[in-house]
């Protein structure tokens, strides 16, 4: 049975007004296709106010459902919330008949940087590695690139996040790539928006830059298409990702079951 879950948060000044919304487990998703999403992002860079984009996968969903007051609000305030996961799309379709089109954050980052290079735009990066910033500068020579190393303790230190906010405000870039992991990147993006003086668009991109610079090798296309990209990442880095993919992510099945019982 199809259904539309109503939002459980108050309207935010950052929320999108340019796209259809669908809800899964209480989380809002924007469902434009790739071209429309990219066009909206590039158009927003010309606006005087700052907005940010999040790309949740299953691990992000579980974190939001487990930490509804400390993590989820930063996703609720996002201007665009775009599904990053083909597995998440299948679960939503099978369990709730909700279709969540997929635009992987790595693809979005690549497309946005290509557009920025074509238009000679300014891009600020927070996180990643300084060497990666140099690599991107060589790959996208028309981009005016600025870089800030990520301070330690971003999740728990307001002072550390404030340094990132100050860098973003000073950079005054058309695009800002927050590459410091979840939920730190979403927290910083929300704080930049709350400052009220920034412009442009922030993308919470996680490890996307690592894939562009080949620091990490992305799964073959057939694994991406079949929803097995997570397995490729697990096999490449089992020590770091085993808990995420084998313990944390399967919790989504409990939340799906609980939601169906409530309905």
When pLDDT is averaged across residues 190-218 and rounded to a whole number, the result is 91
Check residue 1 and give its pLDDT. 37
pLDDT digits (tens, 9 = 90+) for 54-105: 999 999 999 999 999 999 999 999 999 999 999 999 999 999 999 999 999 9
Using the predicted structure, report yes or no on whether residue 49 has a pLDDT greater than 80.
yes
The average confidence (pLDDT) of the chain is 89
Domain boundaries, the chain: 21-215, 221-259
Check residue 230 and give its pLDDT. 77
Entry pTM: 0.89
Using the predicted structure, report yes or no on whether residue 6 has a pLDDT greater than 50.
no
Give the separation between CA 122 and CA 187, rounded to whole angstroms: 22
Check residue 69 and give its pLDDT. 92
Among all chains, which residue has been given the structure tokens 């099978």?
A: 94
Check residue 188 and give its pLDDT. 97
Of residues 7 and 198, which shows the higher confidence score? 198
Using the predicted structure, report yes or no on whether residue 13 has a pLDDT greater than 90.
no
User: Using H for helix, E for strand and C for coil, what is the string for the chain?
Assistant: CCCCCCCCCCCCCCCCCCCCEEEECCEEEECCCHHHHHHHHHHHCCCCCCEEEECCCHHHHHHHHHCCCCCHHHHHCCCEECECCHHHHHHHHHHHCCCCCECCHHHHHHHHHHHHHHCCCEEEEEECCHHHHHHHHHHCCCCEEEEECCCCCCCCCHHHHHHHHHHHHHHCCCEEEEECCCCHHHHHHHHHHHHCCCCCEEEECCCHHHHHCCCCCCCCHHHHHCCCHHHHHHHHCHHHHHHHHHHHHHHHHHHHHHHHHHC
When pLDDT is averaged across residues 145-174 and rounded to a whole number, the result is 94
Check residue 240 and give its pLDDT. 84
Written as six digits, the tokens of 124 are: 């600020």
pLDDT digits (tens, 9 = 90+) for 125-141: 999 788 888 999 999 99
Phi and psi of 5, rounded to 5°?
A: -85, 130
């Amino acid at each position: 049975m199809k259904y539309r879950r109503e939002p459980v948060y108050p309207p935010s000044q950052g929320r999108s007004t340019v796209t259809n919304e669908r809800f899964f487990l209480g989380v809002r998703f924007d469902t434009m296709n790739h071209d429309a999403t990219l066009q909206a992002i590039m158009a927003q860079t010309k606006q005087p106010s700052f907005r940010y984009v999040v790309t949740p996968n299953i691990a992000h969903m579980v974190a939001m459902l487990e930490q509804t007051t400390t993590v989820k609000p930063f996703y609720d305030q996002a201007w665009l919330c775009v599904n990053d996961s083909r597995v998440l799309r299948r679960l939503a379709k099978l369990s709730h008949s909700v279709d969540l089109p997929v635009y992987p954050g790595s693809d979005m980052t690549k497309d946005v940087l290509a557009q920025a290079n074509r238009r000679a735009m300014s891009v600020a990066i927070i996180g990643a590695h300084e060497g990666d910033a140099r690599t991107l500068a060589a790959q996208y020579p028309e981009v005016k690139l600025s870089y800030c190393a990520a301070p330690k303790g971003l999740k728990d230190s307001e002072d550390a996040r404030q340094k990132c906010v100050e860098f973003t405000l000073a950079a005054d870039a058309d695009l800002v790539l927050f590459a410091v992991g979840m939920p730190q990147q979403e927290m910083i993006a929300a704080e930049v928006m709350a400052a009220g003086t920034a412009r442009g668009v922030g993308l919470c991109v996680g490890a996307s830059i690592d894939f562009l610079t080949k620091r990490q090798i992305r799964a073959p296309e057939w694994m991406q298409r079949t929803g097995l990209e997570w397995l490729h990442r697990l096999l490449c880095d089992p020590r770091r990702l085993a808990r995420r993919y084998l313990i944390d992510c399967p919790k989504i099945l409990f939340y799906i079951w609980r939601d169906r019982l409530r309905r």
